Amino acid sequence: MLVIMVHPDFDRLWPFAADHFRALWQAQGRGVLRLAQEDRRPVGEMISEPESVIRLVALQVPLTQVA
């Protein structure tokens, strides 16, 4: 599975970055997951089958729980 996640804070500064990744990976049939402004969950909590991920782009999305 290919996963592209982008937080709105990142999207405001770099609005075309996530779409560029989507265009590069379009042949593999994956879209962009745009998070809600208040969503601060780490990547692992948002992916139901993390073992199936073969490519991951996390744009200003935390990888681990922030204290």
CA-wise closest residue to 40 among 20, 67, 15, 11: 67
pLDDT of residue 37: 94
pLDDT of residue 53: 86
Report CA 13 to chain centroid distance, whole Å. Answer: 15
Instruction: Specify the pTM.
Output: 0.79
pLDDT of residue 30: 67
Q: pLDDT tens across 8-56, in order? A: 999 999 989 988 888 888 777 666 888 899 998 998 888 888 888 888 8
The domain locations on the chain are 2-59
pLDDT of residue 55: 87
pLDDT of residue 29: 61
